Amino acid sequence: MSDYRIASIPGDGIGVDVQIEARKVLDRAAGQYGFSLQWTEFDWSCERFATSGTMMPDDGIEQLAGFDQILLGAVGFLGVPDHVSLWGLLIPVRRAFAQYVNLRPVRLLPGTTSVLAGRGAEELEMVIVRENSEGEYSTIGGRHGSGAGEFAVQESVFTRVGVERIIRYAFELARTRSGNVVSATKSNGIIHTMPFWDEIFAEIAAGYPDVHSEQCHIDALAARMVQQPERIDVVVASNLFGDILSDLAAAVTGGLGMAPSGNINPAREHPSMFEAVHGSAPDIAGQGIANPVAQILAGSMLLEHLGELDAARAVSTAVEKVLAAGEVATPDLGGKATTAELGTAIADALGGYQ
Ligand code: NAI
Ligand code: MG
C-alpha cells in the first residue's frame, strides 16, 4: 500500500472550509483505492502574518520540500494587502519548486447552468496553460518621484527557457486532447516581450506538425471564449494573461466555485501544489456556504499527479453525480446546502465505508 505525504495549507477565509471537504473526499477515495494520504497541516496564512509578521516561517520552503504534494486552500484577508499574501507564500512556493505550469481545466459540469445556456458539455471543455514563474509578475521596477511627478515602473521578464518550456508543455498536452493550441498574445501593443513569445511559439509549432496552432490577441481571445468557446481547447498564455483568462473561463462555465488549478513541476523534482482558482472570499467566509467543488477537483488533480488515476477519476465522477442529481447544492448553485453537506454528499457518492 502506498503512503503519500501531503502538506495541507488551508490558508484564510473559505480556504479553510473547502480544504476540510477536499480532505474528507480524498481520504475516502484513498481508502477505496488502497493507498493512504498522510496529511501535515500548516497554519500559514494572513492570520499568521497578523500575529508574527510573515506568511510562513523563513524555512517554509525547506519544510515543504520533503512532501509528495501540497494542497492549498486560499490566502488573502482584509487588513493584509494582497501583494503581501501573494508574494509571501504563493509565489515563493511556485518558484522555489519550479512549478512553471499552472494548469487550469475548464468544463461545464452536469447540473450547472452556464451563462452560455444551451451549450453542451463537449462545447465547453478547455484547459488554460498559464506560465507560472516569470512574465509580468516580476519584482523589477520601482516607484520614483513625488507629488504630481510620482510614477511607477514594472518590468516584465520573459526568458527563452521559460517561454519554450511552457509552450512545449501546451503542445504535448494538445496531443493528448483535441490537437489544437491557441497562444494568447498582444504583440500589436506590447512590442518587445510579446513578439519574442510569438517567435518562440512559431519555432515550437514547427516541431509539432500534427498539432493545429494559432495565435490570437488576448482581447479577441477573451471575446471568443464567450462567443465561440467550442473553437478553444488548449490555451497557452503568459502569467498575467493566463490568470485573467482562467477567471473568465471559470465564469462562462459554472463560476469560481467549480474551477480547480494545479501548479505543476513537470519534472517531478519538487512537490506540485494544487488549489482552487478562487480566493478566500471574505464576503462569504465563516458562513459555511462556500462551494467545495473547486477544491475537491483540485484534490482530484493531485491524485492524478500522484499516479492514482482510478481514484482521481472516481472523485471527479462523484462530483458529477452529485451535481447532476442537483439535490445537494450550495447557494452559488442555487441551493441551500452548506459546504459540509455538499462535501459529505460527494464523499458518499464515492460509496465505500465510512
Ligand atoms: P474570490 O475568488 O475570493 O471571490 C470572488 C467572488 O466569488 C466572491 O463574491 C466570492 O464570494 C465568490 N466565490 C469564490 N469562491 C467561491 C466558492 N467556493 N463558493 C461560492 N462563492 C465563491 O476573489 P476576490 O474577492 O477577488 O479575493 C478575495 C481574497 O482572496 C483577496 O485577498 C485575494 O488576494 C485572495 N485571492 C487568493 C487566491 C489564492 O490564494 N490563490 C486567488 C485569488 C484571490
Ligand atoms: Mg486569479
**Domains along the chain with CATH numbers:** 1-102+258-354 (3.40.718.10), 114-253 (3.40.718.10)
Ligand closest to Cα of 259 equals 1
Atom of ligand 1 nearest to the CA of 76: 32
Asked if the model's pLDDT at residue 258 lies above 80, the reply is: yes
| pLDDT mean over 117-135 | 88
Kindly give the residue spans of alpha helices, DSSP state H, lying in the chain: 14-33, 46-52, 60-65, 82-85, 91-96, 160-175, 193-206, 218-227, 239-252, 293-306, 309-325, 339-349
| pLDDT mean over 24-43 | 97
Res 121: pLDDT: 75
Backbone angles phi, psi at 274, to 5 degrees: -115, 140
* Ligand 2 center to 299 CA (angstroms): 18
Name the more confident of 208 and 106: 208
Res 354: pLDDT: 41
Which residues contact ligand 1 via a Cβ below 6 A? 14, 18, 74-76, 82, 85, 90, 256-257, 275, 278-284, 290-291, 294, 332
Cβ contact 284:290 at 8 Å: yes
* Ligand 2 center to 145 CA (angstroms): 31
CB-CB neighbours of 295 under 10 Å: 33
Name the more confident of 260 and 119: 260
Res 281: pLDDT: 96
Amino acid letter, 182: V
Q: pLDDT-derived band of residue 351, with 50, 70 and 90 as boundaries?
A: confident
- Residue 279 CA, distance from chain mean position: 11
Tell me the best of 12, 82, 244, 280 to mutate to test the pocket of ligand 1, counting ligand atoms within 8 Å of each CB and taking the most. 280
pTM, to two decimals: 0.91
| pLDDT mean over 250-277 | 92
Q: pLDDT-derived band of residue 353, with 50, 70 and 90 as boundaries?
A: very low
* Ligand 2 center to 244 CA (angstroms): 6
